Structure 1
Amino acid sequence: MTARAAPVLLDSLDAAIEAMLSRIDGPLHVGAPLGLGKPHRLLNALYARVERDPSRRLHLYTALSLDPPGGGKGLEARFIRPFVQRHFGDDFPRLTYVQALKRNALPAHMEVEEFYMQSGALLHSTQAQRRYASLNYTHVARALGDRGVNAIVQKVARSADGTRLSLSCNTDLTFDAIDALVARGLPRPLLVAEVDPELPWLGGSASVEAAFFDIVVAPPAPYPKLFGLPRQPVSDADYAIGFHASTLVLDGGTLQIGIGALADALCHALVLRHTDNAAYRRVLHALRAAKVDDPALGPFVEGLYGCSEMINEGFRRLVEVGVIRRKVVDDEALMRRVDSGHASDDDLARLEREGEFLHGAFYLGSPEFYQWLRNLPEDQCRGIGMKRVSEVNELYGSNESLERMQRRRARFFNTCMMATALGAAVSDALENGHVVSGVGGQYNFVAMAHALPDARSVLMLRASREAGGRNTSNLLWSYGYTTIPRHLRDVYISEYGIADVRGRSDEDCIIAMAGIADARFQATLIETAKANGKLRGDFALPAHCADNLPGHLASAMSAFRADGTLPDYPLGSDFTVVEQRLVMALSWLKANTASRTAKLKTVMRAIGTGTSTDHEAMARMGLERTSGLGQWLQARLLSLALSRTAS
């Protein structure tokens, strides 16, 4: 193989852009990683340069363009603005193209195409909605090849001696995209790296020689903070879902999880199962879980192997307590001996020495999570392998027989917004076509669960939601959009239990799904099924299903909330103690002002409420002293909310 020339080393973003423009003729077809690996400052410099020159068209192909929360209005603004300033920093480089998309103001000679959006962030952007590409994660590299991408820009970490660079947070698509382009007979794209000293160094397959890139730019300090996802509180419903889900995880197996409060709840349940099994079983008993006395739900002896497109906060905690520790190596013969119980002492020594216990294609989390990665002991750091998404999200195209052995007893946990009684899932978009997020890797993992003999796909969802002052079921008879088709139905979990619907008849599937629905909506679901000839006329749900109500759940969980078994923030919080109280109060206020009638009632109660005794919370919101009627009413509303949510 011919050695590549040394990269052009620059310390100016503008110089890097000029170098790009000088080496690419015609339109710029630029690929950028999703999430953390997107070089915000470099992309903003590129945007500014091309915006001034309509003759240079720019097509950007990317996903998950992270943008800190906006300012909001009223009480929301009083809470968010100081938090954003502290958490993200005054100098965080918001992506210019995202701000333009939100205003539908992207210039005519620029185009942004995303295959996954920050959840709900671009629902009202017609430019973003029109140019959304619905793709499985593993098909993105192929699509980039089809589009003829001629440049890829990426944020990287640099070794101390400067000879190597780490793709660190995003090994997901870069290698696969290059291969896809070269396989089509197209030139290797121009590779441009932006060095970020804040980015944790990860070696192994994430590490490349500096010459892998054509241009390396290292802008001078100060360096903005990495984008930290604010950790959200976990509700009673979230915890119930997480604990039910944890009963499906088998010791010695494989774990994939998504992100968000449901994933946090599942990880906390697994931690408790391992570190305080008695308390874990008490929670299961309160939830009337079917497997509460199962000996297989003891602490993990062999541990789990993590294989997830995204490494996040939950995996950090599972590694710390010793749940994630089952190692694998990319040696088919050795893994076969381990799997059959015939591994020699030398095999086991090599497995311990060279094995990896966690594979991912990208990572994203809180500042605490990034600090954990930076400070990992060398032996633990070697256990984390960053891979191509084609290696993590599917079995085909690499070494299928090896991956089947590595991924034994796999449990793939993902979330959905809604599900139908016949087993279809709605995860990423609405029936009017508006995209909330994207398919991402969900379909990949559902399909892989059906391809592996002892794996299961588990889709988790809250049984109901409240919007505009109305409660609505998330378990529906039908919906005008589907992410996962009914023929791939497997396991669904709501706060009210588990519906195992793999291979079931339609009637049995409907019965199981109705059994985990909110009791307020069960009758309508069942009557609709009967009217459509899918359920026998004399069917009735068991009596205990009538308890599928938020009030019953809150009663079951209250003791565990009080004694700290189920904390509001099981994986840590980015909010101060005072802000945590405010989050609860503002959430209560939002729920109790969702409709015009509810808002009027809440305002009338607030008018009669005195000033809150929580002086710290009032001061944090700048309402310890008020000026004018508007501030006075805000203070009264906040006082009411704080009193209603005080523990």
Structure 2
Amino acid sequence: MKQHKDAHEALSVVLSGQRIFVHGAASTPLRLIDGLVSHAGRLRDVEVMHLHTFGDAAYADPACAESFRVANLFVGGNMRRYYDGGRVDYLPCFLSEIPALFRSGERPIDVALIHLSPPDDHGFCTLGCSVDVALEAIRTARTVIAQINPRMPRVHGDGFVHISRIDHYIEVDDPIPEVPRPVLGEVERAIGRHAAALIEDGATLQMGIGAIPDAVLGALHGHRHLGVHTEMWSDGLLDLIEIGAVDNSRKKSHRGKSVSGFIMGSNRVYEFIDDNPSVIQARIDWVNSPHEIAKNPRVTAINSAVEVDLTGQVCADSIGHRIISGVGGQMDFIRGASLSEGGKPIIALPSRARNGASRIVPALRSGGGVVTTRSHVHYIITEYGVANLYGRTLNERAEALIAIAHPDDREMLAREWRAIRAVSG
């Protein structure tokens, strides 16, 4: 283990042709990324691989084309402008299966860049806000380079990393990236009310970050004995914990604990999770295992979509051929919730996009990826209501989806569905 004076010096061990894993979400090691980019002049054909990250991702800039290429496991907002499907590409994989991708040698990691809390008296740091796939990256990487930060929360669970596992490190004192809370409109609030009506007291929740998840959580303040087993969470869930609506008392797995793979939000969230034994961050192949998810009662999984076709196919990672996010854990939790006793897998989306186009469509646009298949889908929610597609024929599904589309789009959708039936019949 070697301490370095700065990130440029620490990253001098990276060689051309290597594959670099970058810790993601609120644990993005921004100083180490700057150090990596500072070596662009000498490096060639280095692959950078990660989930969603913060920062400007300068290694993806065309100015660094000879030095770096990117394999996105999730295309975050900072990467969309660089995505070209070539040098900056997307690797589709269920989030729960990414650790196996590392272990199998299918995508071996040469260097892992990670962001840690300081070591305790026994020499253990933690992965803080983001355990997810980073734990397996550390276990399989040939070289581990860390930035150690006293502002990183010390979080209980699987994310302990002994200082002896670190090959090179720098010390920083930087704020953890924060995510501002979304502004909720009436569309999101209506979706939240519809979703909350499906959620029972004692349910186990999975939902992400953004306006719709926050609207759902905001509509649950009157609920009791809710539990948390989720890929990630943020401020909206903390509100429910603080008022006692979430107490994790009815869960069968890790009762009394809020379980997740990563957390990102405001500094208020980071202060809450610091050394808090009621919060567990676990490796993502366990958190997102449908078998583990299903152990809990009434798992209610709420995920989003770009568009849903009239047979129930859900596109959630692209607009046509343009990748805007990733497969993530949607299918992991859709399947886990459906296997849970009393579980409810839900896809929630506004009836229309910002440009006014219907997001319930006769057919997915060309190039649109099917993230959740029509065989897996159960509930679809818009601001106009709930369509339960489980156990429904294709024609029954189309009728139910048309009924929750924007009123001005329903005639068009019905006409298009009649045309589809005429061709398919």
TM-score, structure 1 normalization: 0.61
Structure-1 separation of matches of 2:122 and 2:211: 39
1:318 counterpart residue number:
240
Asked whether 1:392 is paired with 2:287, we answer: yes
Structure-2 separation of matches of 1:146 and 1:391: 20
1:360 counterpart residue number:
260
Q: 1:501 to 1:421 in 2, by over 3 A?
A: same
Aligned CA RMSD, in angstroms, stands at 2.4
2:73 counterpart residue number:
115
Q: 1:211 to 1:499 in 2, by over 3 A?
A: same
Please say if residues 227 and 247 of structure 2, whose CA atoms lie closer than 8 Å, have aligned partners that are also in contact: yes
1:62 counterpart residue number:
50
Q: 1:120 to 1:52 in 2, by over 3 A?
A: closer
Structure-2 separation of matches of 1:425 and 1:129: 28
**Which one of the candidate residues 294, 310, 330 is aligned to 1:442?**
330
Structure-2 separation of matches of 1:530 and 1:250: 37
2:304 counterpart residue number:
415
Q: 1:149 to 1:121 in 2, by over 3 A?
A: closer
**Which one of the candidate residues 65, 76, 96 is aligned to 1:138?**
96
Q: Give the 3-state SS of the residue equivalent to 2:271 in structure 1.
A: helix
Asked whether 1:373 is paired with 2:361, we answer: no
Deviation at residue 122 of structure 1 after TM alignment: 1.1
Structure-1 separation of matches of 2:179 and 2:125: 25
2:28 counterpart residue number:
38
1:644 counterpart residue number:
none
Deviation at residue 511 of structure 1 after TM alignment: 1.2
Amino acid aligned to 1:267: L
Please say if residues 116 and 147 of structure 2, whose CA atoms lie closer than 8 Å, have aligned partners that are also in contact: yes
Q: Kindly, what percent of the aligned residue pairs are identical?
A: 21
Residue pairs, 1:12-91, within 5 angstroms: 12-18=6-12, 20-21=13-14, 27-49=17-39, 51-54=40-43, 56-67=44-55
Asked whether 1:262 is paired with 2:209, we answer: no
Q: Give the 3-state SS of the residue equivalent to 1:492 in structure 2.
A: strand
Deviation at residue 204 of structure 1 after TM alignment: 3.5
1:514 counterpart residue number:
402
Asked whether 1:96 is paired with 2:49, we answer: no
Deviation at residue 174 of structure 1 after TM alignment: 2.5
Deviations 1:132-169 (A, max 9, x none): 11121122223333122111110011145482201111
Structure-1 separation of matches of 2:236 and 2:373: 28
Deviation at residue 257 of structure 1 after TM alignment: 0.5
Structure-2 separation of matches of 1:532 and 1:160: 63
Please say if residues 192 and 214 of structure 1, whose CA atoms lie closer than 8 Å, have aligned partners that are also in contact: yes
Deviations 1:328-374 (A, max 9, x none): 89xxxxx59xxxxxxxxxxxxxx8xxx54211111111233223334
Deviation at residue 519 of structure 1 after TM alignment: 0.6
- For structure 2, list consecutive stretches of 5 or more residues without a partner in the other structure: none
1:571 counterpart residue number:
none
Structure-1 separation of matches of 2:195 and 2:250: 24
TM-score, structure 2 normalization: 0.91
- For structure 1, list consecutive stretches of 5 or more residues without a partner in the other structure: 1-6, 68-93, 182-187, 275-298, 330-334, 337-350, 536-647
Structure-2 separation of matches of 1:120 and 1:112: 13
Asked whether 1:484 is paired with 2:359, we answer: no
1:213 counterpart residue number:
166
Deviations 1:5-55 (A, max 9, x none): xx323343233223x34xxx6632111122122211112112212x1214x
Amino acid aligned to 2:95: Y
Deviation at residue 412 of structure 1 after TM alignment: 0.4
Q: 1:216 to 1:501 in 2, by over 3 A?
A: same
Q: Give the 3-state SS of the residue equivalent to 1:465 in structure 2.
A: coil
Structure-2 separation of matches of 1:196 and 1:131: 31
Structure-2 separation of matches of 1:216 and 1:440: 30
Amino acid aligned to 1:269: A
